[in-house]
Amino acid sequence: MEKWVAERDANGQRLTGSRFAPPSAATNVRVRDGELLLSDGPFAETKEVIVGFDLLECADLDEAVEVARAHPMAYAGRIELRPLVED
């Protein structure tokens, strides 16, 4: 993982990224009828969890796919690519 991060940081494709704490460390925040509601734990009960993120700068989807293809999690889990919505 460190090699992938170092290479993408060096060539400017990776802007930032981080691992997440486990779902058990999550806090959910909701406001209903003006009342703050907090609950512990993950939002969804699922076996699959998001373990981290990387914010990439790529020219297009093809480049993003090639970057994701080289990511270690592509072989151990799954990579989901999403573009940012620009206002």
Total domains, the chain: 1
- Residue 56 sits in which domain range? 2-76
Q: Let me know if residue 48 belongs to a domain.
A: yes
Q: What is the pLDDT of residues 71-81, one digit of tens each?
A: 999 999 999 99
What is residue 9's DSSP assignment?
H
CATH assignment of the domain containing 38? 3.30.70.1060
CA distances from 26 to 9, 32, 47, 69 (A): 28, 19, 15, 29
Does the pLDDT at position 53 exceed 90? yes
Q: What is the pLDDT of residues 14-48, one digit of tens each?
A: 999 999 999 989 999 999 999 999 999 877 778 88
pLDDT at 76: 92
The pTM score is 0.82
Q: Let me know if residue 83 belongs to a domain.
A: no
